[in-house]
A = this chain, B = another copy of it.
Amino acid sequence: MKPAKNPVGAVETTIELIEALESLDGATVTELADALGVTKGTAHNHLATLQQHHYVVKQGNTYTLSLKFLVIGEYLRNSSVLYENAKAEVEQLAADTGEYAHLSTEQHGLSQKLHKVRGEYAVGTEYQRAKLQKPDCLHYTATGKAILAYLPRSRVEEIIDYYGLPERTKQTITDRDELYETLAEIRERGYALNDEEEVERMRAVGAPIRNKDGAVLGAVSVSGPVSRMKDEQFTDVMPEKVTDAATVIEMNINMAERRGNLPRYV
């Protein structure tokens, strides 16, 4: 969370280059040199290095990131204890409710989606380039709040100190004390609500997934338009389905842990 004391500059340059390649959807040496404010020579040497190790692909004069990122990423996800034991249940949840179902975990103080399944009636165009979008702040999503509620207080404070409580809609919780109250409520009832706090006209219900030591590993949620997520649907039906799913996942994980020999990934 705190900045590196002796960061490796050349690595930071390469990282900037990778992120430029991502946001530009591929680029030429000159474009990248301009974007990073380095000479063409430098950009070229970094690209050649990355290419040699298969992180970057060159076709003609344009460089793009290679699918090696996907191979590594898929490997990590499939190694995840949480994902392995939650996948089927999340899919079930989407089928059951007809809405979007999500599985998220915390990384770097942000909410990182591990799985996202579209239910039959789910709103929104599926044609989005990203699929698993960039991590979100924890305080304005249902999974995020469910996770925050069971993270150690010190960690919660560290995260808020670092990221603050940026506002996404008028409903977003932007006050520390209000957030702490909400988290206490979540602990009482066992699930979290998101009432148009991230996107207007969208609500969500999320439940934490904890191991037998009580540590949160992540959370599941269901999200949908206010028009369907209202009244007892929002206050009873969905919370029950989501917490049930979370309970099943927890049992799966506990049984897997009992069998032992799990990889070191959350």
Chain A residues packing against B (C-beta within 8 Å): 3-12, 14-15, 18, 22, 25-26, 45-46, 48-55, 57, 59, 62, 64-67, 69-79, 105, 107-108, 112, 114, 128-135, 263-266
Contacts and interface: CB of A to CB of B under 8 A. Distances in A.
B76 A65 contact: yes
A78 B116 CA distance: 14
A42 to B, nearest CB: 9
From DSSP, what is the main secondary structure of chain A's interface residues? mixed
A265 B76 contact: no
Nearest to A16: B53
10 contacts: A11-B11, A11-B50, A66-B107, A67-B107, A71-B133, A71-B134, A74-B131, A75-B132, A78-B129, A129-B263
Contacts of A22: 72, 75
A37 to B, nearest CB: 17
A8 B130 CA distance: 30
B265 A25 contact: yes
B8 A14 contact: yes
A159 B208 CA distance: 50
Contact of A25 (B7, B53, B71, B79): B79
A165 B128 CA distance: 40
Contact of A49 (B7, B49, B265): B7
B108 A57 contact: yes
A9 to B, nearest CB: 8
A135 B62 CA distance: 22
A62 B70 CA distance: 23
B11 A49 contact: yes
A264 B26 contact: yes
A266 B71 CA distance: 16
